[in-house]
Amino acid sequence: MKKLFIAVLFIAVCNSTFAQSEKFAAAMQSKLAGFATAKTAEDFLDLSNAFERIAETEKTQWLAYYYAAQTQIIYGYMQKDMATVDPIADKAEQLINKADALEKNNSEISCIKSMVASLRMMVNPMQRFQQYGVLSGKLVEEAKTQDPTNPRPFALQSQTLFYTPAQFGGGCGVAKPFAEQGSKLLAEFKTKSPMHPNWGKREFEVVIGGCK
């Protein structure tokens, strides 16, 4: 009788976990589809808030925090008033740190951390490069080490170099090889699930197309 009770309890727990997993996947897929239609800063802020709500409901799923941070960063890049950017970067950092607490030593998370640093640098590039520009580059290299097959660090690196003037070490000559290398990695990259990060194609196309 005791064994039967334990078996029934085990099945009930498994069914509950499966149902929660399905609910999480459905919620994530719904919001991930929003990337295709989001156009304005407010669209991305809405997405960030939606991913954060999913994350706070699940609490153990790093991907929801990851996308909440990523869309918060995109929202930050679309600001015209630089005085608003640091608080947005603070929020993105809080979100990605929650993802990091759940999933240590993750290359994708390091990429988002690099993007946070770049967002902070955008406020005043000349004054902030030594702190946040250097940090962003360090995090990109960390992401490469954590997963040498991940194309996202190359997307970030190639774009940074593409938009950096040649006299400061940027330009097509240095940016294009990273974009080409990353594009090859992206073609071979296998995501763990439809929810996992798979971006980079547009970033590589911008650099490679702009450097013809």
Would you list the domain boundaries of the chain? 22-128, 149-212
Q: How is domain 22-128 classified at the architecture level of CATH?
A: Alpha Horseshoe (1.25)
Nearest Cα to 52, choosing from 94, 9, 4?
94
Are 60 and 98 contacting, i.e. CB atoms less than 8 angstroms apart? Answer: no
Largest Cα–Cα separation, the chain: 78
Q: pLDDT in tens for each of the 212 residues of the chain?
A: 444 333 333 333 333 333 457 889 999 999 999 999 999 999 999 999 999 999 999 889 999 999 999 999 999 999 999 999 999 999 999 999 999 999 999 999 999 999 999 999 999 999 999 999 999 999 999 999 999 999 999 999 999 999 999 998 999 999 999 999 999 999 999 999 999 999 999 999 999 999 98
Nearest Cα to 149, choosing from 97, 98, 200?
200
Cα distances (angstroms) measured from residue 185 to each of 108, 159, 161, 194? 14, 16, 19, 18
pTM of the model: 0.89
Are 97 and 110 contacting, i.e. CB atoms less than 8 angstroms apart? Answer: no
The values of phi and psi at residue 101, to 5°, are: -65, -25
Question: Residue 193 belongs to what H/E stretch?
Answer: none
The values of phi and psi at residue 147, to 5°, are: -150, 95
Phi-psi sector, 169: left (phi>0), alpha (psi -120 to 50), beta: left
